[in-house]
Amino acid sequence: MASRRDFLGTVSLAATGLALAPLAACSDESPPAAAATAPAETSFSGTLLKRTIPATGESIPVIGMGTSGSFEVGTDAASRAPLREVLKRFVDAGARVIDTAPTYSSAEDVLGDLVAEAKLRERLFLATKLSGVSGRDEGLAQFEASLRRLRTDRIDLLQVHNLGDTRTQLALARELKQQGKVRLVGLTHYREQAQAQLAQDMRALKPDFVQINYSPVSRAAERTVFPLARELGIAVMINRAFEDGRLFSQVKGKPLPPWASEVGADSWAQLFLKFALSEAAVTVVIPATSKPKNQTDNLKAGVGPVLDAKQREALVAAIG
Ligand SMILES: NC(=O)c1ccc[n+]([C@@H]2O[C@H](COP(=O)([O-])OP(=O)(O)OC[C@H]3O[C@@H](n4cnc5c(N)ncnc54)[C@H](OP(=O)(O)O)[C@@H]3O)[C@@H](O)[C@H]2O)c1
């Protein structure tokens, strides 16, 4: 498990100026008074922490977003309207990393349309996947469709989804990287049972990124994937930090722990995201939301201190 010192050690030199300012302003000794009491829907302020992608040295904001479920709304105008605001708040806060997949029904189309409409492509780090395909030709056709649906000519991170046809699809992703159509390549899964295979693939194939599930009730990554990612210099993206929303029912009606204000958190969501970020190996976490007020809430987790070892264990105990 990471100490706060370890965590700070992963912040790049380039990002240090940005990252240390909120940490210093929100130290354990003097948490900001307003943050302790403000309701979760109040506006975002501060500077998002950044962490470094080892493969490139580039630093990215630690709060990203997912699109599974939340962006699968098709062409329905009423359902797209709040997503426009979800995206606006995200970009206004300085966040960049958005994860999607061709197999999330209409998510790539909806995201592509909203990004193009607001002319946001250059400000974003777009991650999508080679998903459910077999063989190079199927993978390539799917990738080309993703470019069209996302209305872009390049993908920042192309990931092999759920370790399907891994070697062939990763080789394709690397080929596309050489052609300048993809900047980074990765492997993903969302279940702890897959992490032993993922670890083998990390050693053998050395992707730039892995994406895995991690939360206070799914901690397997601490044993293998996190240490390995640090050893091999692989960036880590966290999915399911809220267990697809189930964590909220586990804490329903429970008051926040008294120490939440010490880390500048005023919601359970922020504590769950800070839990993920308190692992030094974690580069970015991608909560999914369809609601602007929840987006602001999630973004606030990227400012101020993460959890120390005692707070992490207290959070796990509080969930029960
Ligand atoms: N590679 C893979 O195999 C894989 C698998 C699963 C997921 N993923 C990626 O990871 C992303 C995140 O995972 P996920 O979508 O499964 O689940 P998640 O982020 O753990 O949870 C999403 C749920 O949390 C709710 N929520 C979000 N912010 C909230 C807040 N501040 N307060 C209260 N509720 C909140 C959302 O509802 P509202 O819409 O009402 O806010 C939604 O129901 C996905 O979207 C996808 O991009 C990848």
How remote is the CA of residue 319 from the centroid of ligand 1, in Å?
18
Residues 6+ apart with CB under 8 A from 304: 22, 23, 25, 26, 31, 32, 35, 46, 263, 264, 265
Res. 43 pLDDT band, cuts 50 70 90: confident
Tell me the pairing of strands 50-52 and 59-61. antiparallel
Give me ligand 1 centre to Cα 34, in Å: 27
pLDDT 10s digits, 139-195: 999 999 999 999 999 999 999 999 999 999 999 999 999 999 999 999 999 999 999
Q: 43 or 77: whose pLDDT is higher? A: 77
Contact residues for 204 (Cβ-Cβ < 8 A; gap 6+): none
Instruction: Please check whether residue 67 is in contact with residue 104, taking contact to mean a CB–CB distance below 8 angstroms.
Output: yes
C-alpha span between 151 and 184 (Å, rounded): 19
Pairing of strands 235-239, 209-213: parallel
Specify the residue with its C-alpha closest to ligand 1, atom 27: 289
Complete domains list, the chain, with CATH: 4-26+47-319 (3.20.20.100)
Q: What percent of the chain has pLDDT over 90?
A: 86
Render pLDDT for 101-131 as a digit per residue (tens, 0 to 9): 999 999 999 999 999 999 999 999 999 999 9
For ligand 1, whether the C-beta of 22 sits within 6 Å is: no
- The predicted structure's pLDDT at residue 2: 39
The Å distance, Cα 69 to ligand 1 centre, comes to 8
**pLDDT band at residue 3, thresholds of 50, 70 and 90?**
very low
Is any ligand 1 atom within 6 A of the Cβ of residue 99?
yes
> Going by CA atoms, what residue is nearest to atom 42 of ligand 1?
245
Residue nearest to atom 19 of ligand 1 (CA): 287
311 lines ligand 1 (CB under 6 A): no
pLDDT at 30 over 50: no
Structure confidence by residue, pLDDT tens digits, 70-92 = 999 999 999 999 999 999 999 99
Q: CB of 162 closer than 6 A to ligand 1?
A: yes
CA of 245 to the centre of ligand 1 (A): 6
Instruction: Answer yes or no: is the C-beta of 296 below 6 A from any ligand 1 atom.
Output: no
